[in-house]
Amino acid sequence: MSKLIKPYGSDELLSPFNEIGVNLADVEQMPKFLLNDSAIANVVMLGSGYFNPLQGFMNKTEALSVCDELRTLNGLFWPIPVLNITREMPDFKIGEKVALLDSSQYHNPCIAIMNISDVEFLSDQDLNYFCMRIFGTNDCNHPGVNKFKKLGNYLVSGSIEVSQLSTFPMDHPDTFRTASQLREIITDLGWRKIVAFQTRNPMHRAHEEVCRIACERINADGLIIHMLLGKLKEGDIPAKTRDECIRTMVASYFHDLPVLISGYGFDMLYAGPREALLHAIVRQNLGATHLIIGRDHAGIGNFYGEFEAQEIFDEWHDVSELQIQIFKADHAAYSKKLEKVVMLNEVDNHQAVDFVTLSGTKLRELLANGQLPPAEVVRPEVAEILIDFYKLNK
């Protein structure tokens, strides 16, 4: 049996998930706290083991330590605070047990029990400071900043015991898996070297070939395509359509490479370099040994440099806790000269006209108009799925 890479920050996964669930009679007697989307996503990530070894929500002091030092108060390297922010000040006592309710589900069921350690006020200045540290900007045109600033001004912290993983297991029964489930699957497959690919988009030819290149060079036993299943910015392709695109592509074109398709229940932050670090922690926790970090990984618009998400790993190369390795990928495109997809920094004697490229705007325009983009950019089977999606959502 293969021995997997250790989870991040511990020898075994320390997920605060209770499979037995909560006692409804006990919950009935507890104070209730209705979570917003961002807090629900954090509960799911904690309960799924992807935020191992964390056990709950951070208070202001710990959040500032993570923002400033990229470390928790006990010294653990961590790139983005895990917060539970609300608009109205809760009337909780320190040490009280509170039922956390899922606002995304009918009847708002309890998905976790929280041991209250602090209820603190965050000024608008505090929120701006968090934004500058997490996202590198206060600009509300950044979707992550815009969402963060609307969460509220009260920070509720404490450890949690998770009893449900929101709607993700029901909405994505064939795709959503916890970190421990994936570690078990990978162990059963006998994989030792595992390349992980993070995606919030349908996979196009460039993504496909970068995955193939990474696996070949690392001599990987398999590839895990690990898609984000949570909320994205307006206009992005929803998870079920992306899932269909990816499964179609893999079934049609990945006969030579073992692939595991899965997903996780988190919302996209668009936090660029810091989110790339978090993505690495998530993938180490599921058992991957390598993570592909490409151009503008987890970025949005022009808020980050093209390769900042790679450079931050060099800046923090002394982090011994992070054992997963990074495969740095350049922008990729189809070379007419070589008749294959290549990474641009690896080919000589090429001009811009030698590549088949298409802007995201032009690609969406073609698909929305029912036109197939060049097969060198998007596989036709994938394009057909996207064309159908745009037809239904005009």
DSSP secondary structure, 135-176, as one string = HS---TTSHHHHHHHTS-SEEEEEEEEE---TTHHHH-TTTB
pTM confidence score = 0.96
| C-alpha 335: how far from chain center | 31
**Distance between the two ends of the chain, CA-based, in angstroms?**
51
Q: Is pLDDT at 321 greater than 80 in this prediction?
A: no
Is 219 an annotated catalytic residue? no
Rounded mean pLDDT, 223-243:
94
* CA trace torsion 253, 255, 260, 266 (10° rounding): 0
User: Which residue type is seen at 354?
Assistant: D
| C-alpha 202: how far from chain center | 15
Catalytic residue among 200, 242, 283, 379: 200
Catalytic residue among 201, 212, 247, 364: 201
Place of tokens 């394009």: 383
Rounded mean pLDDT, 27-55:
96
Strand partners, 349: none
Q: Is pLDDT at 320 greater than 80 in this prediction?
A: no
Rounded mean pLDDT, 119-127:
97
- Name the band, by pLDDT with cuts 50, 70 and 90, for residue 19: confident
pLDDT averaged over every residue in the chain: 95
Q: Is pLDDT at 319 greater than 80 in this prediction?
A: no
User: Structural domains in the chain?
Assistant: 24-169 (3.10.400.10), 172-392 (3.40.50.620)
- Name the band, by pLDDT with cuts 50, 70 and 90, for residue 26: confident
Rounded mean pLDDT, 93-102:
96
Give the pLDDT confidence of 323-358 residue by residue, as tens digits.
999 999 999 999 999 999 999 999 999 999 999 999
Is 393 an annotated catalytic residue? no
Give the pLDDT confidence of 276-297 residue by residue, as tens digits.
999 999 999 999 999 999 999 9
Q: Is pLDDT at 1 greater than 50 in this prediction?
A: no
Cα–Cα distance for residue pair 95/80, rounded to 1 Å: 25
**Shortest CA distance to 374 belongs to which of 357, 354, 350, 352?**
357
Eight-class DSSP state of 190 = T
